[in-house]
């Protein structure tokens, strides 16, 4: 016998206690309704009728009272009423969706077993007004079968790299999951061809100090030189990648690899994949993307002083001078210039960079200012080559045509060429004029190939020294321009610089940085399109630096006029600045009236601030 029933029987035996209990119970339940385990109870009362409210959010609750469906959300309930509550369970079918990543290297199945949402009315305690609310629970009803899984994969085209163990996991899943079921083979990327340099072609252009702060001129800063037969670099071929396969069994190709395109210049040979020097000189190797240019830059070495006895130096390659440069001399280098001794009252020019290990006095130094001309000349050369090829191709087509050959009055090729250029290649005439002018103005530092090309252009198109002209002559000109381009060894995109020990009463101009590493400058004008660094002092003169300046000491006790100028968005940094030093940032001027330490001058709100 259940324990509860036994206690009830005991209470019934005790009649007075049982009557008292039932009285209190009936009093408590009087006029109320209650729900217990989906069974509704009600106790009538003379003055109160329990009211039941159907949850308005649940349209699926169907209440039948005494055989009729209750349509109102509120209704009354008595002991005589027969109440029936129905809620249909929801059936959720199983879910099995196949997806892949964007490269189709991995396939996934999103799986969720089918289940039944079983609703029931929530229990509520005895109350005068009750709300029929629903609680639900899931009951797994149906799982995905292996046949259905494979049908889904086949429909999605997944046929490669399928993991059978993962498929079994899909069929056994009791929860919502995303399971990786197939994996492809990614393509293995290859490697572009690359250049392995075997020599150092760079020139050290910055002077170094020893531990005591003195410049060590014994450090080797000579321009690098190679001998005939020396290996400059090795061209490594590209390595092809490996083809992969997607989960849909499609081939995945690696990115195409690119080989090195090699353009040999003068003094260069190619043996198998080895770049070899065929003459003595400085190696020049320039790589842009997968295009490599290499040449041997001619090198002029002057052991003695540069004086009247030796004459001026005009050389289109590197120049290295071990002796001093005496008064009123000119050195014009077509690339880099290294001066191991002093320079006095002379003009020094280099297309690229200058290193001067000695003192500079009453001289003019210029580095990199010709780069813009060289860049323009190279551009013109490329444009002329392209148009020249179109011109001689068109001329060849005309002269080989049937109509031209059968004509009784045939025009000369010179006449045809002139008409062709005037009608279809008008810019060509202006470009060849500009080209020949640049070459004529700079022929002292250009190789003979450039001069030969410009001379031929003059003969064929400007002077028209040859009354008649042929397609072969035009092709010869194209080859001359190609040869000239191959001799270009200066890369105008590389930074130029001037590095020196000290300068007095001189002018230093550079398209890049200027570094004064020794004692400093006196009454010197410095113009730099890069940054200026002076490790010593600047007393007198004017310094302009496009990218700002860093100076140890500026001005003097005697307030010698020293002007330091930068653009408005740059700064001037000085360790110690004397009274009278003038700072100019943009168009704003400031003259220091006292000695200042650790100056960092910049423009703020239209005024120069010293931090």
Give pLDDT tens digits for 172-206: 888 889 999 999 999 999 999 999 988 877 655 44
pLDDT at 218: 37
pLDDT tier for residue 57 given thresholds of 50, 70 and 90:
confident
pLDDT tier for residue 410 given thresholds of 50, 70 and 90:
low
pLDDT tens for 89-104 read: 888 888 899 999 998 9
pLDDT at 400: 79
Question: What is the DSSP code (8-state) at residue 345?
Answer: S
> Hunting for tokens 């320039």 — which residue is that?
286
- Contact (CB, 8 A) for 401 and 384: no
pLDDT at 75: 87
Asked if the model's pLDDT at residue 74 lies above 90, the reply is: no
Of 148-157, 257-266, 381-390, 410-419, the one with minimum mean pLDDT is: 410-419
Domain range list for the chain = 1-28, 93-118+138-183, 194-296, 298-368+498-511, 371-486, 521-611
pLDDT tens for 483-534 read: 777 666 555 556 789 999 999 999 999 999 999 999 999 999 999 999 999 9
Asked if the model's pLDDT at residue 240 lies above 60, the reply is: yes
DSSP secondary structure letters along 228-286:
TT-EEEEEEPPB--B-EE-TTS-EEPPPPP-PPEEEE-TTEEEETTEEEESSSBEEEEE
What percentage of residues in the chain have a pLDDT greater than 70? 89
pLDDT tier for residue 216 given thresholds of 50, 70 and 90:
very low
From the CB of residue 138, how many other CB atoms can be counted at a distance below 10 Å?
12
> Hunting for tokens 């960092």 — which residue is that?
600
Question: What is the DSSP code (8-state) at residue 357?
Answer: E
From the CB of residue 362, how many other CB atoms can be counted at a distance below 10 Å?
16
Mean pLDDT, residues 366-376 taken together: 80
3-state secondary structure of 340: coil
Distance of CA 89 to the CA centre of its chain: 59
Distance of CA 351 to the CA centre of its chain: 31
- Contact (CB, 8 A) for 449 and 457: no
State the Cα angle at 412 between 407 and 414, rounded to 5°.
150
3-state secondary structure of 436: helix
Asked if the model's pLDDT at residue 122 lies above 70, the reply is: yes
pLDDT at 495: 79
Mean pLDDT, residues 461-480 taken together: 78
Asked if the model's pLDDT at residue 8 lies above 90, the reply is: no
Q: Which fold has domain 521-611?
A: Pectate Lyase C-like (2.160.20)
Helices of type H across 118-256: 146-155, 164-172
| Close Cβ partners of 529 (under 8 Å, ≥ 6 residues apart) | 510, 511, 512, 546, 547
- Contact (CB, 8 A) for 88 and 95: no
- What whole-number distance in Å separates Cα of residue 541 and Cα of residue 155? 84
Question: What is the DSSP code (8-state) at residue 444?
Answer: G
- Contact (CB, 8 A) for 76 and 52: yes
pLDDT at 220: 37
pLDDT at 206: 46
- What whole-number distance in Å separates Cα of residue 350 and Cα of residue 364? 11
- Contact (CB, 8 A) for 319 and 285: no
Mean pLDDT, residues 141-163 taken together: 90
* Long-range contacts, 295-304 (Cβ 8 Å, 24+): 295/264, 295/265, 295/266, 295/267, 295/268, 295/486, 295/487, 295/488, 295/489, 296/226, 296/265, 296/266, 296/267, 296/268, 297/335, 297/489, 299/223, 299/225, 300/333
CA 418 → CA 395, 413, 466, 467, distances in Å? 10, 9, 13, 12
From the CB of residue 193, how many other CB atoms can be counted at a distance below 10 Å?
19
Nearest to 159 by CA among 134, 125, 182, 185: 182
pLDDT at 223: 62
- What whole-number distance in Å separates Cα of residue 398 and Cα of residue 490? 40
Longest dimension (CA), the chain: 149
pLDDT at 214: 59
- Six token digits for residue 39: 């069974």
pLDDT at 549: 96
State the Cα angle at 124 between 122 and 128, rounded to 5°.
135
Asked if the model's pLDDT at residue 210 lies above 60, the reply is: no
pLDDT tens for 249-261 read: 999 999 999 999 9
Q: Are strands 549-554 and 532-545 parallel, antiparallel or unpaired?
A: parallel
What percentage of residues in the chain have a pLDDT greater than 90? 39
**Mean pLDDT of all residues belonging to the chain:** 85
3-state secondary structure of 413: helix
pLDDT at 363: 96
Higher pLDDT, 466 or 271: 271
pLDDT at 276: 93
Q: At what angle do helices 471-486 and 371-400 cross, to 10 degrees?
A: 160
- What whole-number distance in Å separates Cα of residue 195 and Cα of residue 583? 48
What is the edge-to-edge ordering of all strands in the sheet holding 261-264?
Answer: 261-264, 291-297, 282-288
Mean pLDDT, residues 36-58 taken together: 86
- What whole-number distance in Å separates Cα of residue 268 and Cα of residue 262? 11
Of 54-58, 203-207, 242-246, 542-546, the one with minimum mean pLDDT is: 203-207
pLDDT tens for 299-345 read: 888 999 999 988 899 887 889 999 999 999 999 988 899 999 999 99
Higher pLDDT, 419 or 494: 419
Asked if the model's pLDDT at residue 265 lies above 90, the reply is: no
What's the pTM value of the predicted model, to 2 decimals?
0.55
Cross-strand bridge partners of residue 106: 183
pLDDT at 416: 80
pLDDT at 354: 94
Buried-exposed string 97-115: b where 16+ CB fall within 10 A, e elsewhere: ebebeeebbbbbbebbbeb
Higher pLDDT, 97 or 211: 97
- Six token digits for residue 353: 């960079």
pLDDT at 183: 95
Asked if the model's pLDDT at residue 584 lies above 50, the reply is: yes
What φ, ψ does residue 198 adopt, rounded to 5°?
A: -110, -10
- Contact (CB, 8 A) for 330 and 312: yes
Cross-strand bridge partners of residue 585: 566, 588
What φ, ψ does residue 480 adopt, rounded to 5°?
A: -60, -45
């Amino acid at each position: 016998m259940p324990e509860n029933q036994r206690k009830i029987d005991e209470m019934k035996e005790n009649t007075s206690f049982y009557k008292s209990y039932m009285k209190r119970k009936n009093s408590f339940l009087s006029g109320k309704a209650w729900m217990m385990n989906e069974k509704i109870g009600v106790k009538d009362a003379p003055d109160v009728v329990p009211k039941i409210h159907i949850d308005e959010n649940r349209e699926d609750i169907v209440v039948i009272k005494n055989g009729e469906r209750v349509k109102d959300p509120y209704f009354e309930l008595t002991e005589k009423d027969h109440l029936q509550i129905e809620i249909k369970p929801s059936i959720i079918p199983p879910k099995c969706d196949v997806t892949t990543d964007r490269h189709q290297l991995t396939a996934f199945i999103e799986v969720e077993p089918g289940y039944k949402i079983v609703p029931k009315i929530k229990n509520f305690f005895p109350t005068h007004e009750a709300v029929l609310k629903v609680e639900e629970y899931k009951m797994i009803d149906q799982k995905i079968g292996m046949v259905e899984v494979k049908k889904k994969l086949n429909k999605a085209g997944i046929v490669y790299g399928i993991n059978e163990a993962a498929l079994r996991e899909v069929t056994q899943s009791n929860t919502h999951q995303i399971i990786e079921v197939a994996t492809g083979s990614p393509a293995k990327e290859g490697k572009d061809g690359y250049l392995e340099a075997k020599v150092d072609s760079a020139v050290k252009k910055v002077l170094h100090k020893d531990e005591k702060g003195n410049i060590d001129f014994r450090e080797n800063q000579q321009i690098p030189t190679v001998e005939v037969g020396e290996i400059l670099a090795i061209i490594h071929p590209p390595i092809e990648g490996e083809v992969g396969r997607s989960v849909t069994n499609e081939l995945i190709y690696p990115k195409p690899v690119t080989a090195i395109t090699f353009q040999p210049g003068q003094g260069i040979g190619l043996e198998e994949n080895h770049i070899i020097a065929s003459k003595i000189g400085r190696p020049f190797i320039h790589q842009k993307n997968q295009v490599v240019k290499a040449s041997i830059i001619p090198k002029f070495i002057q052991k003695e002083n540069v004086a009247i006895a030796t004459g001026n130096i005009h050389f289109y390659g590197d120049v290295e001078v071990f002796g001093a440069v005496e008064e009123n001399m000119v050195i014009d280098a077509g690339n880099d210039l290294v001066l191991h001794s002093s320079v006095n009252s002379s003009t020094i020019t280099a297309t690229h960079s200058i290193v001067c290990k000695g003192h500079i006095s009453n001289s003019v130094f210029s580095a990199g200012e010709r780069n813009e001309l060289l860049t323009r000349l190279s551009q013109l050369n490329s444009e002329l080559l392209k148009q020249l090829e179109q011109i001689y191709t068109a001329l060849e087509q005309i002269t080989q045509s049937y109509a031209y050959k059968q004509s009784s009055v045939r025009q000369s090729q010179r006449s045809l060429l002139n008409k062709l250029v005037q009608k279809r290649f008008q810019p060509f005439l202006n470009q060849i004029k500009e080209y020949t002018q640049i070459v004529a103005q700079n022929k002292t530092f250009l190789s003979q190939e450039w001069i030969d090309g410009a001379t031929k252009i003059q003969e064929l198109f400007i002077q028209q020294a040859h009354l008649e002209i042929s397609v072969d002559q035009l092709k010869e000109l194209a080859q001359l321009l190609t040869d000239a381009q191959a001799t270009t060894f200066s890369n105008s995109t590389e930074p130029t610089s001037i590095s020196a020990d000290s300068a007095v009463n001189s002018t230093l101009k550079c398209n890049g940085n200027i570094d004064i590493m020794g004692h400093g400058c006196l009454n010197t004008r410095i113009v730099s399109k890069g940054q200026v660094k002076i490790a010593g002092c600047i007393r007198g003169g004017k310094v302009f630096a496009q990218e700002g300046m860093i100076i140890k000491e500026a001005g003097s006790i005697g307030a010698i006029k020293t002007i330091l100028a930068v653009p408005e968005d740059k700064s001037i940094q000085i360790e110690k600045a004397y009274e009278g030093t003038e700072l100019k940032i943009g168009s704003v001027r400031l003259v220091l009236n006292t000695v200042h330490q650790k100056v960092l001058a910049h423009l703020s709100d239209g005024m120069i601030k010293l931090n």
